[in-house]
Amino acid sequence: MMTVSEEKSVDYEITARIATEAFESKEVVFSASRMKWLYESGFGGGSAIVAAFDGDKKVGQIALLHQTVYLDGKPVAAIQLVDLFILRAYRSPQLVRRIYQEVERLCQAGRIRLVLTLPNANSARLNERLLKLRPFLTLPPRVGVGFWRPRLSNLKFSGRLKSMPRHEAVDLLSDFVTPASENGPHWDAETLYDRMNDPTRDYAVHATADLLLISSSRRTRGIRHALLCGFFARPGAVVTSSAVHKLVRAACRFWKHRIFVYAGVNKSLPSLPGLALPDRFRPPILVQMRDFDTDRPDLRLDRFQLIDSDFV
């Protein structure tokens, strides 16, 4: 008998195997260790897993990552939807609908206000039809060239946080806690440190006195580049273009890549780095959202970057 419910104890090895099988692509292989990190500590608030079972056999799921988002100076409960999959033999409109119904029930029971997700094309249609999510942001990838010679000076730090004792890394990040006055996902020093503890990926941090950048080395279509995962300004600081350029150069120098990529919105920056790619080369990243409290058309986020998602 098919059942759909919140999964209280997740077997990550089984879940990773099912997810890999469900996506049916040699390029998509799920990691049990990454799923455990992402679901339990990646965003600081844990998660809820809505799973489908055929008897005792898990055949699909969707994960709800808990986040805190600040709106107009006040914290609101939010979730981000990730990792929707169902084994091919069990896919049906009825089962998909039951999974989404359970997601909505959990949101209402937990007094969740915002639902966010960065879907693929198939999930976007399901999210809109079954959970009433709507397009909220489009994040065009922005590309540029970072010249990383000569050696930079006056940097507060540039390197891997994993090379530092945890307490020193947290102390460094504490200067860049996201303020309540800024609409967007909230990060304190501890949760931002944990966000960079993905066991399958490597991150570096670059900081001046007023601005911090998280970066990572990636390859897309055979091209290596420095991915600019997110900028965080010191509360109250006025960020200059030279500070942004300095950190972009630091990231390119650290990873030894000429090309950098950024996608996001960040009102604390005087301008976003790089140039937006035309849609014909790379479509913008879609962010869907539902506000359970209201359909306010003027709802905005001052900051939403790739580090705020499971994309990086």
pLDDT in tens, 124-134: 999 999 999 99
Q: 170-224: per-residue pLDDT in tens?
A: 999 999 999 999 999 999 999 999 999 999 999 999 999 999 999 999 998 888 9
Q: pTM for the whole thing?
A: 0.95
- Of residues 299 and 141, more confidently modeled: 141
Q: Where are the domains of the chain?
A: 2-132, 142-284
Burial class (CB in 10 A: 0-12, 13-18, 19+), 296: exposed
pLDDT at position 177 is 97
Q: Is it the case that residue 252 has pLDDT exceeding 80?
A: yes
Contact 197, 205 (CB under 8 A): no
Q: Which residues contact 38 (CB under 8 A, 6 or more apart)?
A: 47, 63, 65, 82, 198, 310
- pLDDT at residue 150, rounded to an integer: 56
Q: Do 2-132 and 142-284 come out as alike in CATH topology?
A: yes
Is the pLDDT assigned to residue 245 strictly greater than 90?
yes
> E strands within 179-262?
184-185, 204-207, 211-220, 223-233, 259-262
Report the share of the chain in percent with pLDDT over 70: 97
Which residue, chain included where needed, has tokens 């066991």?
A: 199
Please, which residues have CB within 8 angstroms of residue 29's CB and are 6 or more apart in sequence?
20
Superfamily the domain 2-132 falls into = Gcn5-related N-acetyltransferase (GNAT) (3.40.630.30)
Per this entry, what is the length of the chain? 312
C-beta neighbour count of 127 within 10 angstroms: 23
Mean pLDDT of 298-306: 93
Decide which of 3.30.160, 3.40.630, 3.30.70, 1.10.3470 is the CATH code for 142-284: 3.40.630
Q: Virtual CA dihedral for 82, 304, 308, 280, nearest 10 degrees?
A: 60
**Average pLDDT for residues 38-45, to the nearest whole number?**
96
What value does the mean pLDDT of the chain take?
Answer: 95
Beta-bridge mates of residue 82: 63
pLDDT of 20 higher than 60? yes
Q: Measure the CA–CA gap between 250 and 27, rounded to whole angstroms.
A: 31
Q: Is the pLDDT of residue 9 over 90?
A: yes
What is the DSSP secondary structure assignment for residue 271, as one 8-state letter? S
